[in-house]
């Protein structure tokens, strides 16, 4: 399998264009390039191969794997973030050192980030509050 480097904005746009969880990034690109569907099915929930430099985002109570999506609703507005190359990156491309730091950047006050954020790992079907997710993976 070949790998290509893309920036965060391109990755975000490709993610938006996925029609459903089974629609892979390869499928999106094939659609954009007007290519026939691939003969082998590549599932979106298959583990993403990582090189040694791409690790998960370490937390005190566990780790968020590469490709984890995060979302939070604050004052009626949805906010998103992603784990990419072992870093917590928000929807504006800013890096945060912890879930609480990312939550505080949104709320302007001290916030328990584990209760603020919901996560969806690459193999998960739904988002789960971060503290609950980490408690179930211990």
Together in a domain, 83 and 108: yes
Whose tokens are 């906010």? That residue is 79
Whose tokens are 């503290």? That residue is 131
Q: Which two tokens mark 70?
A: 């995060």
Residue 40 banded pLDDT, cuts 50, 70, 90: very low
Whole-number Cα distances in Å, 81 to 32, 33, 51, 67, 95: 25, 28, 22, 10, 9
Radius of gyration of the chain (CA): 16
pLDDT (tens digit per residue) in 52-95 = 445 789 888 789 999 999 999 999 999 999 999 889 999 989 99
- Summary mean pLDDT of the chain: 82
Together in a domain, 38 and 75: no
Residue 18 banded pLDDT, cuts 50, 70, 90: confident
User: What is the pairing mode between strands 87-90 and 128-129?
Assistant: unpaired
Together in a domain, 101 and 63: yes
Q: Does a structural domain hold residue 34?
A: yes
10 exposed, middle or buried (CB, 10 Å; 0-12, 13-18, 19+)?
exposed
Q: Does a structural domain hold residue 51?
A: no
- Among 28-37, 69-78, 109-118, 119-128, name the one with the lowest average pLDDT: 28-37
What residues make up the domain containing 14?
Answer: 1-46
Domain count, the chain: 2
Q: Does a structural domain hold residue 96?
A: yes
pTM score? 0.61
Together in a domain, 15 and 69: no
Q: Does a structural domain hold residue 16?
A: yes
93 exposed, middle or buried (CB, 10 Å; 0-12, 13-18, 19+)?
exposed
Q: Does a structural domain hold residue 38?
A: yes
What mean pLDDT comes out for the span 13-28?
A: 74
Q: Does a structural domain hold residue 115?
A: yes
Together in a domain, 75 and 123: yes
Residue 24 banded pLDDT, cuts 50, 70, 90: confident
Q: Does a structural domain hold residue 52?
A: no
Q: Does a structural domain hold residue 108?
A: yes
What is the reported pLDDT for 115? Answer: 95
What is the reported pLDDT for 2? Answer: 67
Together in a domain, 33 and 69: no
Together in a domain, 125 and 86: yes
């Amino acid at each position: 399998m070949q790998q290509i480097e893309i920036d965060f904005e391109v990755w975000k746009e490709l993610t938006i264009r996925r029609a459903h969880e089974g629609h892979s990034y390869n499928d999106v690109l094939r659609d954009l390039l007007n290519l026939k569907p691939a003969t082998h099915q590549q599932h979106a929930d298959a583990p993403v191969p990582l090189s040694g430099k791409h690790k998960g985002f370490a937390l005190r109570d566990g780790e968020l794997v590469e490709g984890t999506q995060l979302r939070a609703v604050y004052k009626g507005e949805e906010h998103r973030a992603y784990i990419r190359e072992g870093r917590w990156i928000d929807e504006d491309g800013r890096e945060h050192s912890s879930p609480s730091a990312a939550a505080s950047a949104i709320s302007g006050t001290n916030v328990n980030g584990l209760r603020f954020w919901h996560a969806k790992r690459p193999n998960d079907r739904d988002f789960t509050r971060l503290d609950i997710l980490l408690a179930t993976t211990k």
